[in-house]
């Protein structure tokens, strides 16, 4: 019996050894496979010499060609994208700080072709990006966006370019805007600017988000310096929504020849919005209790609908996202979250999808004017932004279930524009409503002069 057990143990030992040999063979195969990937000739280490095209000191006087950025920071990244800008083929890093540096990194050649022009995009990671620079003392807080191009010479057997030297040029423009109304200077407190192709934000990797540029000045000023990036060349029409230090609202437009990487001045003539009341015709635009609004008819009753989302500074801006539980927290002075019935009334208006000022959304025709609702998407569980520029979700005050409530929802692909239910935990935008009363011209509610209609 003892011999039998010893024999069985030998058999089991041999079985274990066979298993271990099989595992080692498998690991060897895996190792060979990894080596083949590492040796893939599509991936090549690239070393370039780069310099900043505008290394001169930033000029404080408008009209100079000096840009905000002047040098590289050590270890900052330069993203390389293909010709159509859709694919990042790799990242290079600045080895030293200064107006010139060496860029080193690995690029993926499999998406590139001979004679293809690739773009190098750079933005310093040492400071956050902000469009609004305010007065001259705030300009230094902005880190500009710079880019340059290289032409592919070969992709096999190695990736090379027609030159190993590249110059990056600043792409951002600083414009000094001077606002007036009736020949008088307007002291700006908040501003919103929108235009087709206007870049709202530039990420660290150089990717762009198109949208409205908004900001608030700590101290109201008649001269406002704003950093803008416009990816459409030539003259562009800009739309302005301005609030002064006294709470008055103004609108205006301006065609300015803004070219990236330069400084400009622009004088903008504004029109002050008057006070609204129930005496005004449907489609009239004005101000009600501190917000720009338009008069809308709801089954014979006139109400005011704000021209912008709660928390926004112009019609094209997305504004603040609220869960259903806190949706009313951003409203005061008679402004409120509309009911399902009130949102249903908007559904019945004539509407069209488009991007009149560079932001996707629906434009609703009301009388001789219009109401724009941007496709602001939603924040899943109040955090991650989803479906922006494709879908719009606007809260109503009407609950549908313990965990759901009614919202206005729209999307241009399926031609949908209806009320439906949304999760109460999601963050949605709000377009507030206000009751209208007979206008009392002696009221100081607007914090400034009111314009009387004849």
CA-nearest of 327, 338, 353 to 296 is 338
How many other CB atoms are found less than 10 A from the CB of residue 119? 16
Compare 345 and 61 and report the one with higher pLDDT: 345
Task: Report the alpha-carbon angle 445-448-453, nearest 5.
Answer: 85
pLDDT value of residue 420: 94
User: For 377-402, how does the pLDDT look when each residue is reduced to its tens digit (9 = 90+)?
Assistant: 999 987 889 999 999 999 999 999 99
DSSP letter assigned to residue 1: -
Name the pTM for this structure. 0.71
Element spanning 148, H or E: strand 145-154
Q: Give the tens place of pLDDT for each residue, 142-174.
A: 445 678 899 999 998 889 999 999 988 766 666
pLDDT tens string 239-281: 999 999 999 999 999 876 555 556 667 889 999 999 999 999 9
Summarised one tens digit per residue, pLDDT across range 29-52 is 333 333 333 345 578 899 999 988
- For the chain, what is the mean pLDDT? 78
Strands (E) across 247-334 are located at 249-256, 263-269, 271-272, 285-288, 291-298, 301-306
> What counts of helices (H) and strands (E) characterise the chain?
2, 32
């Amino acid at each position: 019996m003892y011999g039998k057990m010893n024999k069985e143990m030998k058999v089991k030992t041999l079985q274990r050894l066979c298993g271990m040999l099989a595992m080692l063979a498998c690991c060897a195969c895996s190792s060979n496979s990894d080596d083949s990937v590492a040796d893939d000739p599509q991936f090549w280490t690239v070393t370039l010499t780069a310099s900043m095209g505008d290394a001169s000191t930033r000029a404080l006087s408008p009209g100079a060609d000096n840009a905000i950025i002047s040098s590289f920071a050590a270890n900052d990244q330069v993203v390389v994208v293909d010709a159509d800008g859709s694919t990042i083929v790799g990242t290079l890093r600045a080895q030293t700080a200064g107006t010139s540096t060496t860029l080193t990194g690995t690029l993926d050649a499999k998406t590139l072709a001979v004679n293809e022009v690739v773009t190098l995009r750079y933005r310093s990671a040492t400071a956050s990006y902000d469009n609004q620079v305010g007065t001259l003392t705030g300009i230094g807080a902005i880190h500009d966006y710079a880019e340059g191009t290289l032409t592919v010479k070969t992709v096999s057997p190695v990736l090379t370019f027609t030159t190993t030297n590249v110059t990056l040029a600043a792409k951002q423009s600083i414009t000094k805007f001077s606002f007036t109304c009736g020949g008088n200077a307007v002291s700006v407190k908040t501003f919103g600017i929108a235009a087709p192709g206007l870049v709202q934000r530039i990420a660290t990797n150089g990717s762009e988000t198109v949208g409205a540029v908004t900001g608030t000045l700590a101290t109201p000023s008649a001269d406002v310096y704003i950093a803008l990036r416009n990816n459409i060349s030539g003259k562009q029409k800009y739309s302005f929504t301005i609030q002064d230090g006294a709470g008055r609202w103004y609108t205006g437009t301006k065609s300015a020849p803004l070219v990236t990487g330069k400084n400009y001045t622009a004088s903008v003539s504004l029109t002050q919005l008057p006070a609204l009341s129930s005496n005004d015709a449907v489609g009239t635009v004005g101000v009600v209790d501190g917000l720009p609004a338009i008069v809308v008819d709801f089954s014979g009753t006139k109400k005011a609908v704000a021209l912008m989302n709660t928390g926004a500074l112009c019609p094209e801006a997305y504004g603040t996202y609220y869960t259903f539980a806190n949706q009313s927290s951003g409203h005061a002075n008679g402004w409120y979250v509309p009911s399902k019935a009130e949102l249903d009334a908007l559904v019945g208006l004539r509407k069209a999808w488009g991007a009149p000022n560079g932001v996707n959304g629906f434009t609703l025709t009301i009388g001789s004017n219009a109401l724009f609702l941007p496709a602001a998407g939603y924040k899943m569980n109040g955090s991650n932004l989803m479906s922006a520029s494709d879908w719009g979700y606007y809260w109503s005050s009407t609950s549908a279930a313990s965990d759901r409530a009614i919202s206005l929802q729209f999307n241009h692909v399926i031609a949908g524009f209806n009320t439906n239910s949304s999760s109460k935990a999601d963050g949605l935008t709000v377009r507030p409503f206000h009751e209208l009363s007979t206008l009392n011209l002696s009221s100081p509610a607007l914090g400034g002069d009111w314009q009387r209609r004849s």
